[in-house]
């Protein structure tokens, strides 16, 4: 099984499947799903009468002066059901980010005079109508449904659908403009073999520990100087494999710098090293050395390579037309992603709702952290955020969450988000014992606030433990007892839930003992034994079902054509509904003594 923590595993995945895996990750971290049409963004009746209508049409954000209304936000989020907390904040922030992206795409489509085709819009509406009402639904039924679900007339709804499709329309326009030749398609199968040497540079942006093996990272200027010296030795006749084993920090060093066969012209060729290195390889004749190039990725540094060999590993089923279409799609997607990325950088984005501004800032901090991580693997955008960028964005999110909580102190999600910030500070080695004590006091208040409107067993355990540490055993007991009652109200029903209940009961045993409640601890100990028994029973039932299923599968596998079934015990029976013209049906009087029922005479 592949080691997912191994850089070699990631390198091989990106090298062999870059056009699929790499772009998929770029879509996840770089391009929101607004380019895809989704009618599930809408649904549910909206109260648009009087003051409620005015409130829904009020802007919560503006992009280059164009409003994003509360109604648009509700249409996108009202089916996204989730409990208060981090997931809710992620959903809210991500939804607003998607609406911002969508607005930028709409503005770009208007500039380019790009609209989805009328036929495609009609097709999408027809599909929704038939899914919703069936083919027998009348125009009156459709109008009534649209008004109830979207508060829109058929004409207004058609405009909504057309707007939702502008991303795909832009993508199609870009694709039509791409010029891809058969030679380009054939190059996708070209491969190159290198002997690679990497002199590492100290990477202040990496959150990963420096690998224990190999040379230690150097300051930038020293690393470049050493790489130039090693290249001079290689060009002078020194064995590059020996140089790699002694001086290279790459994971290929122990193999003499041999990277194996690598794609040379795909979009993600040498993505771990960067575009400059990929260009250097392409411009270097076979048997020659590249120049020294600054590389990025998991371990940045200065690198050079010898181009050992080249080949074109064209597949037997190569289809030039198919590959050309794939290349057009990839290039159009990259162009659209870049357009959106640049559009966000240049746009005037004003978020007017404080809570949503805080959630969006939090979402962006997480997104930037993912982009930074991907950059360490040579993926994502060229100008990926640095560690300092991420920390700055996180600090902004923390400040906005605090501000929003002051405005709405009973909001469970805001309380939990601020609690997460405080927990990070509590575990910071720089935090003093006095500061930790203040943080714990605040956490208690925040958890109490959150638990008024949501239930979370782990949070309640943590809250009770903090009360116990403060010697407030009566308050700790209150929360431990509530956990016990909630467990009793939701008995386990399978192995997984029984294991979870067993773990909770074990924690309660220790908890009640710690506050000198031996009788309660004894009750929980009894429940530990009961849940262990249930775990065994559920496992036995699952094993029984598994064996029965295996026997059924064996019986099915032993049924040959003609209807004769051989049971596991060896008894044969004839399916009397399947006969050949010459078949003779046996009766009881036809059977010889000792013959089994159903055997052929």
Q: 404 lies in a domain? A: no
Q: Is the pLDDT of residue 581 over 80?
A: no
Q: Is the pLDDT of residue 30 over 50?
A: no
Q: Average pLDDT for residues 458-474, to the nearest whole number? A: 95
Q: What percent of the chain has pLDDT over 70?
A: 81
For 68, other C-beta atoms within 10 Å of its C-beta total 24
Structure confidence at residue 24 (pLDDT) = 36
Structure confidence at residue 601 (pLDDT) = 29
Q: Is the pLDDT of residue 599 over 80?
A: no
Q: 116 lies in a domain? A: yes
Structure confidence at residue 160 (pLDDT) = 82
Structure confidence at residue 376 (pLDDT) = 67
Q: Tens digits of per-residue pLDDT, 301-327?
A: 999 999 999 999 999 999 999 999 999
Q: Is the pLDDT of residue 348 over 70?
A: yes
Q: Which residue has the higher pLDDT, 514 or 564?
A: 514
Q: Which residue has the higher pLDDT, 80 or 274?
A: 274
**Rounded Cα gap, residues 423 and 540, in angstroms:** 42
Q: Average pLDDT for residues 443-466, to the nearest whole number? A: 94
**CATH number of the domain that 502 lies in?**
1.25.40.10
Q: Is the pLDDT of residue 437 over 70?
A: yes
Q: Average pLDDT for residues 223-234, to the nearest whole number? A: 96
- Residue 60 DSSP symbol: E
The strand pairing partners of 477, in sequence order, are none
**Domain co-membership, 30 together with 142:** yes
**Rounded Cα gap, residues 468 and 415, in angstroms:** 22
Structure confidence at residue 516 (pLDDT) = 95
**Domain co-membership, 199 together with 290:** yes
Kindly state the tokens that stand for 329.
């799609």
Q: Is the pLDDT of residue 332 over 90?
A: yes
Whose CA is closest to 238, among 284, 200, 289? 289
Residue where one domain finishes, among candidates 522, 539, 556: 539
Structure confidence at residue 553 (pLDDT) = 85
Q: Tens digits of per-residue pLDDT, 486-512?
A: 999 999 999 999 999 999 999 999 999
**Domain co-membership, 126 together with 226:** no
Q: 498 lies in a domain? A: yes
Q: 559 lies in a domain? A: no
Structure confidence at residue 561 (pLDDT) = 56
**Domain co-membership, 485 together with 527:** yes
Structure confidence at residue 519 (pLDDT) = 96
Q: Average pLDDT for residues 387-403, to the nearest whole number? A: 94
Total domain count for the chain?
3
Q: Which residue has the higher pLDDT, 595 or 68?
A: 68
Assign 347 a pLDDT band (cuts: 50, 70, 90).
Answer: very high
Q: 571 lies in a domain? A: no
Q: Average pLDDT for residues 520-548, to the nearest whole number? A: 95
For 139, other C-beta atoms within 10 Å of its C-beta total 9
Structure confidence at residue 18 (pLDDT) = 43
Assign 210 a pLDDT band (cuts: 50, 70, 90).
Answer: low
Q: Tens digits of per-residue pLDDT, 56-108?
A: 789 999 999 999 999 889 878 876 767 888 999 999 999 999 999 999 999 99
- Residue environment code for 351-370, b if the CB has 16+ CB neighbours within 10 A, otherwise e: bebebbbbbbbbbbbbbbbb
DSSP letter for each residue of 354-377: HHHHHHHHHHHHHHHHHHHHHHHT
**Domain co-membership, 307 together with 347:** no
Backbone angles phi, psi at 592, to 5 degrees: -75, 155
**Rounded Cα gap, residues 280 and 378, in angstroms:** 16
Assign 529 a pLDDT band (cuts: 50, 70, 90).
Answer: very high
Q: What average pLDDT does the chain have?
A: 83
Structure confidence at residue 112 (pLDDT) = 92
**Domain co-membership, 156 together with 205:** no
- Residue environment code for 538-553, b if the CB has 16+ CB neighbours within 10 A, otherwise e: beeeeeeeeeeeeeee
Q: Is the pLDDT of residue 470 over 70?
A: yes
Q: Which residue has the higher pLDDT, 415 or 33?
A: 415
**Domain co-membership, 274 together with 303:** yes
Whose CA is closest to 265, among 220, 231, 310? 310
**Domain co-membership, 258 together with 305:** yes
Q: Which residue has the higher pLDDT, 215 or 414?
A: 414
Listed in sequence order, the residues at least 6 apart from 259 whose beta carbon sits closer than 8 Å to its beta carbon are: 193, 194, 196, 252
Structure confidence at residue 380 (pLDDT) = 59
Residue where one domain finishes, among candidates 506, 539, 572: 539
Burial degree of 428 (CB within 10 A; 0-12, 13-18, 19+): exposed
Assign 150 a pLDDT band (cuts: 50, 70, 90).
Answer: confident
**Domain co-membership, 70 together with 145:** yes
Structure confidence at residue 593 (pLDDT) = 37
Q: Average pLDDT for residues 128-141, to the nearest whole number? A: 90
Q: 589 lies in a domain? A: no
**Domain co-membership, 207 together with 141:** no
**CATH number of the domain that 286 lies in?**
3.10.50.40
Q: 594 lies in a domain? A: no
**Domain co-membership, 433 together with 463:** yes
Residue where one domain finishes, among candidates 256, 281, 312: 312
Q: Tens digits of per-residue pLDDT, 152-194?
A: 889 988 888 888 888 899 999 999 999 999 999 999 999 999 9
Q: 417 lies in a domain? A: yes
What residue numbers bound the domain in which 236 lies? 190-312
**Worst-scoring range by mean pLDDT, 23-37, 142-156, 502-516?**
23-37
**Rounded Cα gap, residues 112 and 511, in angstroms:** 66
Whose CA is closest to 71, among 88, 52, 50, 91? 52
The strand pairing partners of 262, in sequence order, are 192
**Domain co-membership, 425 together with 484:** yes
Structure confidence at residue 28 (pLDDT) = 31
Q: Quick check: helix, strand or coil at residue 289? A: strand
């Amino acid at each position: 099984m592949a080691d997912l923590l191994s850089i070699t595993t990631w390198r091989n995945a990106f090298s062999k499947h870059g056009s699929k895996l790499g772009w998929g990750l770029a879509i996840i971290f770089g391009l929101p799903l607004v380019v895809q049409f989704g009618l599930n963004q809408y649904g549910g009746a909206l109260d648009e009468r009087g003051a409620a209508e005015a409130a829904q049409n009020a802007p919560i954000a503006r992009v280059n002066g164009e409003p994003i209304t509360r109604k648009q936000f509700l249409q996108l989020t009202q089916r996204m059901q989730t409990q208060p907390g981090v997931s809710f904040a992620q959903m809210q922030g991500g939804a607003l980010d998607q609406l911002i992206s969508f607005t930028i795409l709409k503005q770009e489509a208007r500039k380019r005079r790009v609209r989805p085709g009328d036929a495609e819009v009609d097709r999408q509406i027809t599909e929704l109508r038939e899914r919703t009402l069936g083919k027998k639904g009348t125009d009156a039924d459709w109008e009534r449904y649209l008004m109830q679900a979207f508060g829109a007339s058929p004409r207004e709804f058609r405009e909504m659908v057309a707007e939702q499709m502008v991303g795909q329309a832009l993508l199609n326009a870009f694709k039509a403009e791409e010029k891809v030749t058969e030679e380009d398609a054939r190059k996708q199968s070209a491969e190159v073999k290198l002997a690679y040497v990497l002199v590492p540079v100290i990477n202040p942006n990496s959150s990963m520990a420096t690998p224990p093996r190999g040379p230690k990272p150097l300051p930038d200027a020293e690393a470049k100087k050493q790489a130039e010296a090693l290249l001079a030795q290689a060009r002078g006749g020194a064995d590059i494999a020996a140089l790699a084993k002694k001086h290279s920090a790459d994971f290929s060093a122990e193999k003499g710098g041999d990277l194996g066969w690598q794609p040379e012209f795909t979009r993600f060729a040498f993505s771990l090293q960067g575009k400059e290195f990929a260009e250097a390889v392409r411009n270097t004749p076979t048997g020659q050395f590249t120049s020294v190039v600054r590389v990025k990725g998991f371990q940045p540094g200065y690198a050079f390579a010898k181009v050992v060999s080249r080949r074109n590993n064209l597949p037997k089923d190569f289809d030039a037309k198919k590959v050309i279409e794939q290349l057009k799609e990839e290039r159009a997607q990259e162009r659209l992603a870049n357009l959106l990325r640049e559009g966000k950088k240049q746009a005037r984005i004003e978020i007017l709702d404080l809570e949503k501004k805080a959630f969006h800032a939090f979402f962006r901090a997480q997104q930037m952290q993912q982009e930074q991580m991907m950059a360490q693997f040579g993926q994502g955008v060229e100008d990926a955020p640095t560690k300092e960028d991420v920390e700055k964005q996180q600090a902004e999110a923390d400040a906005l969450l605090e501000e929003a909580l002051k405005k709405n102190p009973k909001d469970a999600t805001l309380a939990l988000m601020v609690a997460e910030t405080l927990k990070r500070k509590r575990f910071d080695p720089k935090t003093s014992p006095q500061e930790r004590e203040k943080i714990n006091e605040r956490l208690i208040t925040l958890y109490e606030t959150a638990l008024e409107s949501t239930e979370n067993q782990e949070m309640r355990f943590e809250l009770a433990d903090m009360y116990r540490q403060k010697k407030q055993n009566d308050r700790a007991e209150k929360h431990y007892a509530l956990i016990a009652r909630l467990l009793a109200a939701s008995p386990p029903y399978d192995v997984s839930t029984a294991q979870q209940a067993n773990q909770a009961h074990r924690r309660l045993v220790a908890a009640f003992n710690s506050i000198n409640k031996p009788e309660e601890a004894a009750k929980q100990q009894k429940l530990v034994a009961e849940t262990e028994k249930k775990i065994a029973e559920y496992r036995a039932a699952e094993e029984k079902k598994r064996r029965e299923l295996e026997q059924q599968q064996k019986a099915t596998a032993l049924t040959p054509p003609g209807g004769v079934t051989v049971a596991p015990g060896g008894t044969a029976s004839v399916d009397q509904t399947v006969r050949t013209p010459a078949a003779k049906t046996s009766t009881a009087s036809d059977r010889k003594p000792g013959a089994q029922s159903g055997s052929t005479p």
